[in-house]
Structure 1
């Protein structure tokens, strides 16, 4: 039996502001924007090429907006991802890797898969990590 992760609820304080960030700046597709009165709204958004979506909204979770940290997106070219985010106005870190002692360092010239990252936050402070996987070294 397969168990597939298909949806992650991300807590936000302003649904319209978050929706604009995720669609216009990150390029996520809007799959659903449904309201059932003033106390319930669900907005489902999917990163390009992803089988898993996120949902933001009202009445979905008791988690504090900005509480989520380290949710990962995976790309095969960290430099291209960085350039696209900068071009779209996202405040994003420079690409980095972790040293053997767990500290962040600049890019290694011959880095391998799973070793290179960048990070950014949504308008509420939910922290995202982008990880490079599948780039030929």
Structure 2
């Protein structure tokens, strides 16, 4: 047996490519409304363009552009953005014009059976509270609270 076959391979998710119909509109949405950092916007010709944006505090970025995906793939669904304070994150997105759903939480927490109740989880438990938003092309994002500390 090869010694290297017994050790785990580390995989680092660093980029997710999203299909968008209008790169400039998507750039405005992600950079100006959602608040992602624009890392690069490269277009050497009229056929190819790649823009990479990173959510604040994330090690994973998104790419949008022309010539990245052969054909429209349909929207990406339920990409999670984990935040320490869901109520604050939702408020900031709303202030920037992002249409964010109401907050909901799992019930019952201990033996979750797929039901939700309105509002934040009363105990602010990790992974228990959610809100959602979508970009103009229908790519959907889930905000999930983890690591809340009462100030």
TM range (shorter): over 0.9
Pick the structure with greater CA Rg: 2
Who is 1:115 aligned against?
Answer: 128
Q: Structure 2-normalised TM-score?
A: 0.84
Q: Structure 1-normalised TM-score?
A: 0.93
Q: Which runs of 5+ in 1 are unaligned?
A: none
The alignment yields a C-alpha RMSD, in angstroms, of 1.6
Distance 2:115 2:69 in 1: 33
Count the aligned residue pairs.
Answer: 137
Structure number with higher relative contact order (C-alpha < 8 Å, ≥ 6 residues apart): 1
* Deviation, structure 1 residue 106: 1.1
Who is 1:102 aligned against?
Answer: 114
In the TM superposition, what whole-angstrom CA distance separates every residue of 1:51-82 from its partner, at most 9, and x where no partner exists?
Answer: 11000001111463652110011100000001
Q: Which runs of 5+ in 2 are unaligned?
A: 1-8
103-112 or 5-14: which moved more? 103-112
In the TM superposition, what whole-angstrom CA distance separates every residue of 1:70-109 from its partner, at most 9, and x where no partner exists?
Answer: 0011100000001100110100001111333313321331
